[in-house]
Amino acid sequence: MSATMPAPVVAPVRTPSTRTVLMCRPDFFTVSYRINPWMHPEKPTDTSLAVIQWEALYRTYLDLGFDVKLVDPIEGLPDMVYAANGGFVLDNIAYGASFTYEERQPEGPAYMDWFRANGYEVRVPENVNEGEGDFLLVGDAILAGTGFRSASNSHEELAAIYGREIVTLELVNPNFYHLDTAIAVLDPSPAPGQAANIAYLPSAFSDSSLRVLQQRFPDALLATEEDAAVLGLNSYSDGYNVVIASRAKDFERQLRERGYNPIGVDLSELLLGGGGVKCCTLELRR
């Protein structure tokens, strides 16, 4: 009697959706100070290479049919390329950023000026927060990071503005100081009957926050330490296509197995400042 072979696992059909995002060219990118473990100002950076790599990401989004908006870079603000930190935009309301470190604080007003000029209702922050770097929309809830950058009382402010459930998650590894370096939102608006899907790095979170993730997302992809170390989780998805760091090979494999289409890009120069794909991408939601 022959053994019964297990049925093959069939990945769900994924559906892409059109996205509108805000980006900032790294015309003034360099690493001239150190505010995270990735930054080493004693090592040279290549601004022209950063621009070339960023343009590859920009073209990838255009090829996917995204509506890509641009905010003008400002000389003296080398980290402005990391547009995700510039605010959080939902329901046509832009909650502005208030940066932890003095070096980045002028970015907050610069992004809020852009939001106003482009028809968004701007809420000036009362508490320290670094925008979509720490705030991720998943279904009807907002995952909100704290521990290194965004203050936990900004989560209360976020809840009051948007009226959504806020799920506070504590980061404990300084290499993953923003939530978008430790969690990738793969399908924030899944089809009826399907659960929202994320990927994350377990070691980036406190024990209590890890339990929350395990309970809310039992089918999440778990990233390897190696892929996280090249900011593989700092990715951006339209529900089917997932733009990731080209060196995150196991993450790429897992995505394909789950029915996603991973697209690798090389942002190794921008990694010198502690940012990757998602850091360069702020989603604009009307």
pLDDT tens digit sequence for 39-52 = 999 999 999 999 99
Just list the catalytic residues: 178, 279
d(CA 93, CA 222): 32
Query: Given a cut of 70, is residue 62 above it in pLDDT?
Result: yes
Q: What is the pLDDT of residue 188?
A: 77
User: Which pair of structure tokens corresponds to residue 56?
Assistant: 């590859």
**Dihedral over alpha carbons 33, 234, 62, 122 (to 10 degrees):** -70
Q: What is the pLDDT of residue 189?
A: 73
pTM > 0.85: yes or no: yes
Phi, psi of 172 (to 5 degrees): -125, -10
SS3 content of the chain, % helix, strand, coil (to 5): 30, 20, 45
d(CA 280, CA 157): 24
d(CA 204, CA 169): 10
- What letter would DSSP give residue 147? S
Length of the chain: 286
The β-bridge relationship of strands 141-146 and 165-170 is parallel
Domains of the chain: 20-283 (3.75.10.10)
What distance separates the 2 farthest-apart alpha carbons in the chain?
Answer: 74
d(CA 237, CA 278): 9
pLDDT tens digit sequence for 163-212 = 999 999 999 999 999 999 999 999 877 666 666 699 999 999 999 999 99
For residue 211, with 0-12 CB atoms within 10 Å meaning exposed, 13-18 middle and 19 or more buried, which class applies? exposed
DSSP class per residue in 42-96: TS---HHHHHHHHHHHHHHHHHTT-EEEE----TT-GGGG-GGGGEEEETTEEEE
Please report the sign of the dihedral spanned by the C-alpha atoms of residue 269, residue 232, residue 173, residue 225: negative
Q: Which helix (H) or strand (E) holds 247?
A: none
Q: Region 240-266: what's the mean pLDDT?
A: 97
d(CA 140, CA 216): 13
d(CA 98, CA 104): 9
User: Which pair of structure tokens corresponds to residue 257?
Assistant: 């197995």
Please report the sign of the dihedral spanned by the C-alpha atoms of residue 150, residue 189, residue 64, residue 223: positive
d(CA 83, CA 77): 12
Average pLDDT of every residue of the chain: 94
Please report, rounded to a whole number, the percentage of residues in the chain having pLDDT higher than 90. Answer: 91
Distances (CA, A) of 187 to 42, 161, 220: 39, 24, 11
Query: Given a cut of 70, is residue 9 above it in pLDDT?
Result: no
